[in-house]
């Protein structure tokens, strides 16, 4: 029996990979609901169909097929296991940023090109206007509301050239031109000096989309910056880096700690350092700047007059009740683009919490004890597969078909799995996570089966 099951897993696993290439059509468009609530919709199949759920799973969330099976309930609407208390934005399968409504799942391509459910922790864009509201073309023109630009008196002119959208991102085009009569800095600030409150020890991520529309910086050096200001808006210090700009729109990010003990506010922006006598004539596109108190950049959050908070995505998948020590296994297929400073939860609720450890990338399982963990590591931004199997005798985990790690501990009672976070209504240990597939089994899979399902 184990040999036949293993062979079946091999065949079905190979088939699922082969179908990924044809499953991309329609990514980013919400599929019709499969059912209503946690029951079965009239006219739908109530039992398994050929090849689904895969390998006799009790719960199978198939993002590619946009379907969810739960033993004892049949097919249920995937939307019924999801909540988000606000709209959100994400790039669809055409590469265009679009808005998703409250409680609407963001089904989008993952970084490896497969259909995925995107889940993120709650985050606030502290820049009050990244939609370019209030901008007026002209020389010098009027910058967007709440922005400031440098109208220089050292031979460099600043001009607001235009606004619009590119790939769904609102942008502002700014032109700097002239010959410097003294060393100077042509600059644009995305916020006022005393708006974004901050304190020493906090971690913030500053991001913006940029490209060169026309001209050249010449010998001038371009910087993307985050200034730390005092309580009166006085300059204290800044973190700045020199991004490599091209004609293609790209997102640049900088994650930094607030280090000055007197820091009270942050001020994001850009500038070009122009030497005395240097000539500059460049038009830059600035799109959707974002400043958030996070250790990594999240998806764009559009604002037009005040800071906006995107609520957390919560996927709470119901399970047939599993008693303490009862045989149980689960497998998740995912992409984790960024590292949190604490833990990167793949599945949660503490009964069985799979996580990728920060920095070293190892898979661990937590249910009151932080052991075991794998010897092989996950590579950020790559496709990953993680699996757990346990019963009254012990537990085992496997990452990407690598060596099995295990011990003699077991799991407590569980009746649900929370994907990508430790507990409901919590952003603790919650990463930005793309979910391709999730399955559970009411049996303890063998080590060989764990390797096959995660290879």
pLDDT classification of 9: cutoffs 50, 70, 90:
very low
For residue 122, give the nearest of 95, 83, 93 by alpha carbon: 83
CA 52/CA 283 separation, integer angstroms: 54
Give the tens place of pLDDT for each residue, 300-354: 999 999 999 999 999 999 888 899 999 999 999 999 999 887 889 999 876 788 9
Rounded to 5°, the CA angle 413-415-421 comes to 100
DSSP 19: H
Is residue 432 over pLDDT 90?
A: yes
Secondary structure, 3-state, 345-399:
ECEECCCCEEEECCCCCEEEEECCCEEEEEEEECCCCCEEEEEEEECCCCEEEEE
Helix 2-20 × helix 447-454 angle, to 10° = 10
Is residue 138 over pLDDT 50?
A: yes
CA 52/CA 68 separation, integer angstroms: 10
Cis peptide leading into residue 140 (ω within 30°):
yes
Residue 393: C-alpha distances to residues 129, 386, 390, 405 (Å): 57, 21, 8, 14
Sign of CA dihedral 161, 250, 96, 268: negative
- Full set of structural domains in the chain with CATH: 2-122+311-454 (2.60.120.200), 148-307 (2.60.120.260)
pLDDT classification of 48: cutoffs 50, 70, 90:
low
pLDDT at residue 45, as a whole number: 38
Cis peptide leading into residue 53 (ω within 30°):
yes
CA 295/CA 256 separation, integer angstroms: 8
Tokens encoding 438: 């999730």
Cis peptide leading into residue 372 (ω within 30°):
yes
Q: What value does the mean pLDDT of the chain take?
A: 88
Entry pTM: 0.87
Pairing of strands 265-274, 184-189: antiparallel
What is the average pLDDT across 243-271? 97
pLDDT at residue 445, as a whole number: 97
Contacts of 447 (CB under 8 A, 6+ apart): 389, 396, 398, 404
């Amino acid at each position: 029996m184990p040999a036949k099951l293993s062979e079946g897993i091999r065949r079905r696993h190979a088939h699922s990979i082969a179908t990924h290439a044809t499953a991309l059509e329609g990514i980013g468009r919400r599929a019709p609901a499969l059912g209503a609530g946690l029951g079965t919709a009239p006219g739908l199949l109530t039992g398994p169909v050929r090849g689904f759920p895969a390998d006799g799973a009790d719960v199978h969330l198939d993002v590619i097929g946009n379907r969810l099976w739960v033993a004892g309930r049949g097919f249920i609407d995937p939307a019924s296991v999801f909540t988000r208390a606000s709209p959100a934005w994400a790039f669809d399968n055409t590469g265009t940023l679009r808005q998703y409504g409250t409680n609407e799942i963001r089904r989008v391509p993952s970084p490896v090109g497969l259909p995925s459910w995107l889940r993120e922790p709650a985050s606030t864009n502290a820049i009050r206007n990244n939609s370019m509201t209030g901008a007026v073309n002209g020389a010098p023109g009027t910058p967007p509301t709440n922005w400031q630009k440098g109208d220089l008196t050292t031979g460099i002119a600043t001009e607001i050239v235009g606004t619009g959208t590119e790939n769904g991102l609102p942008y502002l085009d700014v032109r700097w031109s002239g010959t410097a009569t003294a060393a100077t800095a042509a600059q644009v600030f995305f916020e006022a000096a005393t708006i974004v409150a901050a304190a020493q020890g906090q971690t913030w991520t500053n991001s913006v989309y940029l490209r060169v529309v026309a001209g050249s910086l010449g010998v001038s050096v371009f910087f993307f910056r985050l200034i730390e200001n005092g309580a009166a808006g006085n300059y204290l210090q800044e973190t700045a880096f020199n991004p490599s700009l091209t004609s293609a729109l790209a997102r640049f990010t900088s994650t930094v700690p607030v280090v000055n003990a007197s820091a009270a506010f942050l001020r994001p922006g850009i500038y070009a350092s122009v030497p005395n006598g240097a000539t500059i004539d460049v038009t830059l596109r600035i799109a959707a700047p974002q400043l958030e108190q996070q250790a990594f950049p999240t998806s764009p959050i559009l604002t037009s007059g005040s800071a906006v908070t995107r609520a957390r995505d919560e996927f709470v998948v119901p399970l047939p009740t599993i008693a303490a020590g009862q045989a149980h296994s689960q497998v998740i297929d995912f992409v984790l683009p960024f590292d949190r400073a604490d833990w990167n939860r793949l599945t949660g609720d503490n009964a069985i919490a799979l996580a990728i450890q920060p920095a070293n990338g190892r898979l661990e399982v937590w249910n009151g004890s932080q052991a075991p963990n794998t010897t092989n590591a996950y590579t950020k931004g790559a496709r990953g597969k993680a699996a757990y199997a346990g019963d009254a005798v012990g537990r085992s985990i496997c990452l990407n078909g690598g060596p099995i790690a295990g011990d003699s501990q077991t799991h407590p009672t569980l009746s649900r799995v929370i994907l990508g976070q430790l507990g409901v209504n919590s952003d603790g240990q919650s990463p930005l996570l793309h979910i391709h597939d999730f399955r559970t089994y009411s049996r303890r899979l063998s080590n060989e089966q764990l390797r096959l399902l995660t290879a």
